[in-house]
Structure 1
Amino acid sequence: MEYISDININEAIIHILDNNGVEPVLNEYPLELNEDIYKFLHKHIDKCFKDEELRYAKFKPERSIVKEVVQDYLNGIENNLVELSKELARQMFAIMNGNTNIPSCDLVIASITTDQGPMIAVLKMDYVKNFTHQIEFVDNKIGIGIVPQSAGLPGSGQKIQKAAFIKPIREEENYNLMVLDKQRKSKKDEEYGANYFINNFLGCSIVQNERDITKTFVNATEAWTREIYNEKPLKAMEIRDAVKKGLMEEEVINIEKFSEDVFKEESIKENFKKFIKEQGVEEVEVDKTWAEKKLKRVRLKIDNGIDLYLSNEDYHDKSKFEVTRNGDGTVNMTIKFVTNYIEK
């Protein structure tokens, strides 16, 4: 995956999209990018680029207003970001009007330059409930209360749920944009219009990349291991260690070869291969950046309510941590030579 490490905001505009309104409130001027506002937007954009749920996507061949107006801007045919942003805001508001489940928001459109080239950033900043003080004078005395603010923007420490970063379309590239489209965790996840951001607004489809496939392989192997070796901790550990070894040492993990190397029983080999391939994975081009981050720490959740957090180095250092067989299918985990500990 192409990771973005350098971001510069050239220009940005904000519009108000209130689901209770008849029309969007469209801004006629760019934001004044003073130090505080620039820092606020930069932090949100940087968080989006670093979010593990950010995906590659490609515009569908059908006509798309978002695709057309953004490409005109990125290719120099039009150079008015305010007008571009107003068109995108109108498109989003029209979709919101047809679905009351879509939360009101401020829509931020920004022209950015990155180490992967120029992009248009689209940030749907759903409102969050904040609280502030309210001062009243009662009988010439000051009374201070707390009142809710229902249209607050997500703070720098909070995550945006929906964002897009659109590139100039080039025929030889396998994706045109990066998309963040988190779904609300509720019983209404399957409700009509749940994928409005990707399907209706952007008009694109998700494209799998190396990180997606690497994550799918790791998560699928873990799910399979928990199911098959739920009460065989040593065997489960062997499989997990084999996955980590493959991520660290291999550029490409072939599922056929991996299963041959790890499992002895034919039935287990076939069961594993079938399960992994059902997840759409036959070969894993390892995303080394994601793998290094994933393997930096090891978390062990032990069946009697103990959680252990170790660095990958300590996990493999037998002078500090060791797993030994008991001979009855259970294992002992030993933390060695402790010189100090604190209670939290």
Structure 2
Amino acid sequence: MEYINEVNLNEAVVHVLDNNADEPIYNEFMLELSDETYEFILKHIQKCLKSEELKYAIFNDGQNSIKEFSKNYLNDKGDFLSISKKIAKQLFVIMESHGNIPSCDLMIVSISTEYGPILALLKMDYVKNFTHSIGSCDNKIGIDIVPQFVGLPSGGQLIQKCAFIKQVIPENKFDLMIIDKQNRRDSEDYEINYFTSNFLGCSIIENERDATSNFIKVAENWTRSNLKDNAEAAEMVRTAVKKKLQEEDNIFVNRFANEVFKESKDVAENFLQYAKERGITENVPIDKEYVDKKLKRIRLKIDKDMDVYIDRDTYDDKSKFEVIRNGDGTINIVLKHIKNYIEK
């Protein structure tokens, strides 16, 4: 996966899309990128780019306004402010036709990265905040707490819907990266995939990180379902998964199953069938950067009432931590040579 680490903001604008209004409120000026504003926008973009919710996508064939608007800007063929209005209008039309899509500020940002220029579209749904209200009665001051419904997500919150559009060139493996988190409670009120399908006109495709994440999840879920009363066998599977993730560039699922479950062909077949039904292909490409992040810290939930958090180096250091298989389906977990501990 292309992990974007270098982000610089070039220009940005925000338009107000209120689904109770007849038209968007267009900004006629670009945002002044003061230190505080720059940091606010940058935090949101960095959080989105680091999120596991971020997916690869390609534009669908046929006419696509967002693709053309972005292409024109990224190829220096259009004015940023005027193109941003056209993009905002496209989303507003969809909001009008689908009824209950949340109102928002649509922030459009031009950024530079190590992979070239990117146009970022951030749908910033309003969040409920509270502020004080000061009044007077009979010459006495009264202060109340009142809700506000037009606050923007803070820098620590993940935006629910956004897109990062690349320059459209033939050699691209993907055209854009998107986050399109779904609020299932609203699924009956408006088309749930409006952002991906109707607005952006694109389709999600799998990347190496998605394939790696899915394999880890499927292997763990299978282990929990089939080996919940056999900690020894479960530990063997989990250790094999970690070993493959760290040592191999690709996991060949048939070979993996036959190696791990070599004493039982039926169990191997059960694992393979389970994995296949959940979209695991024979060859799983491994995203090493994702694995390093995922295994950096390991959490063990033991017999429902004990939690152990341990970093990977300590987990692999037998002078500090060891799992001992007892041969009867149970294991002993041993913490060694402890010099200091505290209670929390």
Is the pair's TM-score, using the shorter chain for normalization, greater than 0.5? yes
Asked if the contact 2:252–2:284 (Cα under 8 Å) also holds between the matched residues in 1, the reply is yes
8 Å Cα contact 2:71/2:167 also seen in 1: yes
Name 2:90's counterpart in structure 1.
91
Please tell me the root mean square deviation across aligned C-alpha atoms, in Å. Answer: 1.6
Give the match for residue 155 of structure 1.
154
TM-score, normalisation: structure 2:
0.95
The aligned residue for residue 196 of structure 2 is: 198
CA offsets per residue over residues 114-154 of structure 1, 9 Å max, x none? 11100110000010001112222333333222111111000
SS state of the match for residue 72, structure 2? helix
2:260 equivalent to 1:262: yes
Question: Residues of 2 paired with 1:60 and 1:300: CA distance?
Answer: 43
Q: 1:191 to 1:226 in 2, by over 3 A?
A: farther
Corresponding residue number in structure 1 for 2:61 = 61
Q: Matched residues, percent identical?
A: 52
Distance 2:72 2:317 in 1: 56
Q: 1:295 to 1:73 in 2, by over 3 A?
A: same
Alpha-carbon shift at residue 301 of structure 1 (Å): 1.0
Which blocks of at least 5 consecutive residues in structure 2 are unaligned? none
1:110 paired residue number: 109
Matched-pair contact (CA < 8 Å) for 2:99–2:190: no
Contact 1:276 1:282 in 2 (8 A): no
Q: 2:304, 2:160 → 1: CA distance?
A: 36
1:306 CA displacement: 1.1
- 1:190–1:262 Cα change, 3 Å: farther
Aligned pairs, number: 342
- Amino acid of the residue matched to residue 38 of structure 1? Y
Give distance in 1, aligned partners of 2:181 and 2:91. 17
The Cα shift of 1:267 comes to: 1.2
Give runs of aligned pairs for residues 325-340 of structure 1, distance below 5 A.
325-340=325-340
> Which range is displaced more, 57-66 or 324-333?
324-333
* Shift of residue 207, structure 1, vs aligned partner: 1.3
Q: Distance in 1 between matches of 2:99 and 2:341?
A: 53
AA aligned to 1:15 is H
Check 1:213–1:83 CA distance in 2 against 1; reply closer, same or farther (3 A cut): same
Q: Distance in 2 between matches of 1:289 and 1:327?
A: 35
- Alignment partner, residue 124 of structure 1: 123
Aligned to 2:6: 6
Provide the secondary structure at the position in 1 that maps to 2:299.
Answer: strand
Q: Which residue matches 2:38?
A: 38
Contact 2:30 2:81 in 1 (8 A): yes
Question: For residues 290 and 336 of structure 1, what CA distance do their matches in structure 2 show?
Answer: 29
SS at structure 1 position matched to 2:98: coil
The within-5 A match list for 1:207-286 is 207-264=205-262, 265-280=264-279, 281-286=281-286
Cα displacement (A) at 1:157 = 1.1
Question: Is residue 300 of structure 1 aligned with residue 300 of structure 2?
Answer: yes
In the superposition, the TM-score normalised over structure 1's length comes to 0.95
Q: Work out the CA distance in 1 between the residues paired with 2:334 and 2:121.
A: 50
The residue type paired with residue 296 of structure 2 is K
Equivalent position SS for 2:174:
coil
Q: d(CA) in 2 for partners of 1:177 and 1:304? A: 42
> What whole-Å deviation, never above 9, does each CA across 1:267-322 have from its counterpart, x for those lacking one?
11222122222333211111000000001011111123111111112222233223
Residue range with higher mean Cα deviation, 135-144 or 171-180 = 135-144
User: By how many angstroms is 1:102 displaced?
Assistant: 1.6
C-alpha distance in 2, partners of 1:210/1:245? 18
Secondary structure class of the residue paired with 1:342: coil
Contact map agreement 1:233 1:330 (CA 8 A) in 2? yes
Note if contact 1:16-1:26 (Cα within 8 Å) is conserved in structure 2: yes
The runs of 5 or more residues in structure 1 that have no matched partner are none
Matched residues in 1 for 2:339 and 2:98: separation? 60
1:224 partner SS = helix
